[in-house]
């Protein structure tokens, strides 16, 4: 059990800067998820914590102790790899006991740890099998078992579910969360899958280009994205963004893009916006409700649009239409098949509008959200 | 769309599939004929060792022997004339030690070349590999004089040294490529598990390379076993000469034995390497696969 603290961590490969000075505090027993597009530096950061990459600059602390120069095995961290990285020539049991034997633990201790891990992960029937004789989900569990038996202070997961099919991925996701709750070990988890990030994390670290864009609880990140990047990255389908100008109409601050005008709730934006400012507004697909097809918002702006095409997903229908050449996606909670060309009234929920400064890309409410 | 299977004659489809396979008859016949031509020398070898010298010279070379008994006498003659016992022992020593040491060193080099980051990696690899580009005969004369000067001509040590050295480059090429295919994640996992570099080599990478290791060992063993040129030049004394070198006593104007004895000696001399192949063929075939996964 341990906290992990990153101070000004930088990673340089040749002349490429992969990680640009990250500061982060991961409290004891918490579940942190690093999320971001590929190449954002999340895996590199994890590998630096693991001790698989040198830290070019900065300080890494585990439980207050600087571990920059400690080899992996002495850091008290254990990692589950994307490819599982099981030893193919060893049985499940040998895979599990490999690290313990290297540590020269005595036989009874090795047995105790293996027995515990095997019980938690229900691996008993497979102990004498080789990895090639296991299914993807079973291999995944062995990989976790190998991390558990070491009784580490910190668990590291590097996209552990990306090799599994969708159904198994959901199942393993729940298992990982349950396991972490049970073992109460600080966990750092890297993924590019925002569903994993939203469901697993106590807090999410959104990264881009070697920087942290935002840290916060899943709900913080979702409800109050710090900038356009986070707004676009978290949420599926992505947030609808429209660029325009802040204008004042009859004393009311509004967003305007040609004929599309939305009043901006003055209790939230009066102090932070001024007329004439270039702004981008965002609506999540679920905040654009087709009239008579879901719970209608109390304060809304109605726009009539012709559906260009739709995706009926069974539990919902996604509707695609245009406002001033910008594609807008609306989520219909009471699904039905919608033909292309059908005209509907869409209600934009004004209370759930997100507003960003177009030039800087930051939320105009940025002092109210946590930025990394 | 309909889900019914009516109107589809599955039996007819099965028959048609089977018939299409049988059309390969022609190809099979051609293959059998070509194989038969290829087998004739082996047939000649197989029957000749069962003939006496007299029987061999009186009948057609491809005629069947009258009995199996002469093989014993042929073997005894061959064994004593050529001192085959010593030859076999020496060749086994050169083969096992030479190929074994070479493959082990090659595995270490391959691990370094595929796993450890250092400058001019490719240059080092090309340097090692350049050993296989030049014709081997080129080394013969300098080596002879060098061995003479250092005093390891006609010694077991000299032979093992030479064979080990000459057999390194090819396994380096094979093993490096194979090890490149073994996921790096595995070493990293082992490193996190607390393994040292040598433990990773010995307990993680090496056990996953048995296929190509056996294959290259077998190839190098066979090469050493069959080598005549170097063993003739560098170790010509009876106590250190290899089996192939020993067989040379049957050559030349003073040789008094018939082809039946020579062929029997040849069969005895090649038996060990054939047996090795039989023994290790499963690993050998595995090693022939290119990827490391």
With 0-12 CB in 10 A as exposed, 13-18 as middle and 19+ as buried, what is B23?
A: exposed
Q: Is B190 on the interface with A (CB under 8 A)?
A: yes
Q: What pLDDT shows up at residue B250? A: 86
If you average pLDDT over residues A256-260, what whole number do you get?
Answer: 89
Contact between B193 and A98 using a beta-carbon 8 Å cutoff: yes
Contact between B190 and A87 using a beta-carbon 8 Å cutoff: yes
Q: Three-state SS string across chain A, please?
A: CCCEEEEEEEEEECCEEEEEEEEEEECCCCEEEEECCCCCCHHHHHHHHHCCCCCCEEEEEECCEECCCCCHHHCCEEEECCCCCCCCCCCHHHHHHHHHHHCCCCHHHHHHHHHHHHHHHCCHHHCCCCHHHCCHHHHHHHHHHHHHCCCCCEEEEECCCCCCCHHHHHHHHHHHHHHHHHHCCEEEEEECCHHHHHHHCCEEEEEECCEEEEEECHHHHHHCCCEHHHHHHCCCCCCEEEEEEEEEECCEEEEEECCEEEECCHHHHCCCCCCCCEEEEEECHHHEEECCCCCCCCCEEEEEEECCEEEECCCCEEEEEEECCEEEEEEECCCCCCCCCCEEEEEEEHHHCEEEECCCCEECCHHHCCCC
SS3 content of chain B, % helix, strand, coil (to 5): 75, 0, 25
Q: Is A188 on the interface with B (CB under 8 A)?
A: no
Closest in A81, A83, A102 to B194, CB measured: A102
Kindly report the average pLDDT of chain B as a whole number: 89
Q: Do B129 and B249 lie in a common domain?
A: yes
Task: For residue B191, list chain A residues with Cβ-Cβ distance below 8 A.
Answer: 52, 71-73
Closest in A51, A81, A89 to B185, CB measured: A81
Q: Do B282 and B224 lie in a common domain?
A: yes
Task: For residue B208, list chain A residues with Cβ-Cβ distance below 8 A.
Answer: 88-89
Q: What pLDDT shows up at residue B293? A: 39
Q: Do B199 and B99 lie in a common domain?
A: yes
Residues A38-97: pLDDT tens digits?
999 999 999 999 999 999 999 999 999 999 999 998 999 999 999 999 999 999 999 999
Q: How far apart are CA A92 and CA A98, in angstroms?
A: 10
Q: What pLDDT shows up at residue B289? A: 60
Q: How far is A18 from chain B (nearest CA, A)?
A: 19
Q: How far is B119 from chain A (nearest CA, A)?
A: 13
B266 touches B251 (CB < 8 A):
no
Contact between A52 and B192 using a beta-carbon 8 Å cutoff: yes
Q: Which of residues 142-161 of A touch B (CB under 8 A)?
A: 146, 150
- Which pairing describes strands A252-257 and A309-312: parallel, antiparallel, or unpaired? unpaired
Residues B13-31: pLDDT tens digits?
988 888 877 767 888 899 9
Q: How far is B185 from chain A (nearest CA, A)?
A: 5
Closest in B185, B199, B204 to A83, CB measured: B185
Looking at residue B208, the DSSP 8-state letter turns out to be G
Closest in B194, B203, B207 to A73, CB measured: B194
Q: What pLDDT shows up at residue A254? A: 94
Contact between B199 and A102 using a beta-carbon 8 Å cutoff: yes
Contact between A85 and B185 using a beta-carbon 8 Å cutoff: yes
Kindly report the average pLDDT of chain A as a whole number: 93
Domain final residue pick, B50, B69, B88? B69
Contact between A81 and B188 using a beta-carbon 8 Å cutoff: yes
Q: How confident is the model at residue A265 (pLDDT cuts 50, 70, 90)?
A: very high
Looking at residue B132, the DSSP 8-state letter turns out to be G
Q: Do B38 and B97 lie in a common domain?
A: no
Contact between B191 and A73 using a beta-carbon 8 Å cutoff: yes
B228 touches B249 (CB < 8 A):
no
The CATH number linked to B146 is 1.10.3720.10
Domain carrying residue B226? 76-292
If you average pLDDT over residues A312-323, what whole number do you get?
Answer: 94
Chain A: residue whose CA lies nearest to B195: A102
Q: Do B164 and B267 lie in a common domain?
A: yes
Global pTM exceeds 0.95: no
Q: Is A103 on the interface with B (CB under 8 A)?
A: yes
Contact between A99 and B194 using a beta-carbon 8 Å cutoff: yes
Q: What pLDDT shows up at residue B288? A: 65
Task: For residue B189, list chain A residues with Cβ-Cβ distance below 8 A.
Answer: 79, 81, 85-87, 146
Q: How far apart are CA B247 and CA B261, in angstroms?
A: 11
Domain final residue pick, B24, B39, B69? B69
Q: How confident is the model at residue B292 (pLDDT cuts 50, 70, 90)?
A: very low
Q: Is A85 on the interface with B (CB under 8 A)?
A: yes
The CB-side HSE value for A128 (13 A sphere, CA atoms) comes to: 0
Q: Do B63 and B166 lie in a common domain?
A: no
Q: Do B232 and B210 lie in a common domain?
A: yes
With 0-12 CB in 10 A as exposed, 13-18 as middle and 19+ as buried, what is A63?
A: middle
Task: For residue A81, list chain B residues with Cβ-Cβ distance below 8 A.
Answer: 185, 188-189
Residues A318-372: pLDDT tens digits?
999 999 999 999 999 888 889 999 999 999 999 999 999 999 999 998 765 545 4
Strand order across the A317-323 sheet: A309-312, A317-323, A326-332
Domain final residue pick, B69, B90, B107? B69
Closest in A77, A81, A103 to B189, CB measured: A81
Q: Do B39 and B100 lie in a common domain?
A: no
Q: Do B115 and B153 lie in a common domain?
A: yes
What domains sit in chain A, N to C, each tagged with a CATH number? 4-232 (3.40.50.300), 234-368 (2.40.50.140)
Give the total number of structural domains in chain B: 2
Residues B192-205: pLDDT tens digits?
999 999 999 999 99
Q: Do B254 and B286 lie in a common domain?
A: yes
Task: For residue B204, list chain A residues with Cβ-Cβ distance below 8 A.
Answer: 87
Q: Do B113 and B61 lie in a common domain?
A: no
Q: Do B49 and B88 lie in a common domain?
A: no
Q: Is the pLDDT of residue B255 over 80?
A: no
Q: Which of residues 195-224 of B touch A (CB under 8 A)?
A: 195, 199, 203-204, 207-208
Q: How far apart are CA A136 and CA A97, in angstroms?
A: 21
Residues A1-32: pLDDT tens digits?
699 999 999 999 999 999 999 999 999 999 99
């Amino acid at each position: 059990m341990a906290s992990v603290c990153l101070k000004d961590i930088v990673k340089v490969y040749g002349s490429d800067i992969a990680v640009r000075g990250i500061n982060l505090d991961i409290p004891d027993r918490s579940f942190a998820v690093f999320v971001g597009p590929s190449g954002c530096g999340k895996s590199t950061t994890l590998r630096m914590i693991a001790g698989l990459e040198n830290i070019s600059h900065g300080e890494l602390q585990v439980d207050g102790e600087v571990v920059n120069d400690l080899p992996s095995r002495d850091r008290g961290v254990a990692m589950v790899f994307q490819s599982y990285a099981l030893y193919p020539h060893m049985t499940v049991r040998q895979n599990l006991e490999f690290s313990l034997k290297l540590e020269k633990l005595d036989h009874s201790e090795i047995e105790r740890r293996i027995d515990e891990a095997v019980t938690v992960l229900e691996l008993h029937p497979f102990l004498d099998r080789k990895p090639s004789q296991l299914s993807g989900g079973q291999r995944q569990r062995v990989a976790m078992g190998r991390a558990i038996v070491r009784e580490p202070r910190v668990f590291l997961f590097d996209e552990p579910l990306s090799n599994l099919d969708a159904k198994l991925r959901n199942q393993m996701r729940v298992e990982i969360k349950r396991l972490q709750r049970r073992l109460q070990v600080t966990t750092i988890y890297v993924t590019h899958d925002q569903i994993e990030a939203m469901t697993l994390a106590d807090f999410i670290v959104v990264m881009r280009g070697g920087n942290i864009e935002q840290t916060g609880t899943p709900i913080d990140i979702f409800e109050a994205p710090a900038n356009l990047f986070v707004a676009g990255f978290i949420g599926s389908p992505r947030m609808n963004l429209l660029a325009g100008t802040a204008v004042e109409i009859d004393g009311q601050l509004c967003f305007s893009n040609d004929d599309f005008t939305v009043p901006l709730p003055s209790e939230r934006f009066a102090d932070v916006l001024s007329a004439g400012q270039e702004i981008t507004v965002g609506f999540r697909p679920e905040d654009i409700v087709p009239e008579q097809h879901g719970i209608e918002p109390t304060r809304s702006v109605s726009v009539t649009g012709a559906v260009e095409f739709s995706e009926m997903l069974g539990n919902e229908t996604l509707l695609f239409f245009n406002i001033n050449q910008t594609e807008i996606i609306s989520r219909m909670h009471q699904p039905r098949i919608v033909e292309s060309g059908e005209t509907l009234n869409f209600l934009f929920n004004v209370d759930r509008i997100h507003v960003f400064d177009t030039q800087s890309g930051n939320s105009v409410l940025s002092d109210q959200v946590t930025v990394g | 769309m309909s889900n019914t299977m009516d109107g589809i004659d599955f039996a007819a489809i099965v028959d048609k599939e089977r018939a299409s396979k049988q059309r390969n008859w022609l190809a099979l016949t051609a293959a059998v004929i070509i194989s038969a031509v290829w087998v004739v020398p082996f047939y000649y070898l197989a029957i000749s060792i069962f003939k006496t010298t007299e029987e061999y010279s009186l009948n057609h070379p491809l005629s069947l022997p009258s009995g199996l008994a002469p093989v014993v006498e042929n073997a005894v003659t061959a064994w004593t004339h050529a001192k085959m016992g010593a030859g076999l022992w020496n060749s086994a020593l050169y083969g096992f030690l030479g190929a074994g040491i070479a493959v082990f060193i090659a595995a270490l080099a391959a691990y370094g070349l595929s796993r450890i980051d250092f400058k001019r990696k490719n240059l080092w690899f090309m340097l090692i590999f350049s050993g296989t580009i030049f014709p081997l005969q080129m080394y013969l004369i300098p080596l002879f004089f060098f061995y003479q000067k250092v005093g390891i001509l006609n010694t077991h040590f000299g032979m093992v040294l030479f064979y080990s050295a000459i057999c390194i480059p090819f396994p380096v090429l094979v093993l490096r490529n194979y090890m490149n295919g073994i996921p790096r994640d595995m070493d990293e996992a082992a490193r996190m598990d607390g393994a040292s570099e040598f433990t990773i080599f010995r307990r993680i990478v090496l056990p996953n390379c048995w296929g190509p290791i056996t294959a290259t060992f077998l190839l190098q063993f066979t090469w050493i076993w069959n080598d005549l040129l170097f063993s003739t030049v560098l170790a010509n004394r009876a106590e250190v000469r290899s089996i192939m070198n020993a067989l040379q006593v049957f050559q030349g104007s003073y040789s008094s034995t018939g082809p039946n004895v020579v062929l029997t000696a040849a069969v005895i001399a090649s038996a060990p390497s054939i047996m090795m192949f039989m023994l290790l063929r499963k690993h050998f075939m595995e090693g022939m696969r290119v990827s490391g996964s």
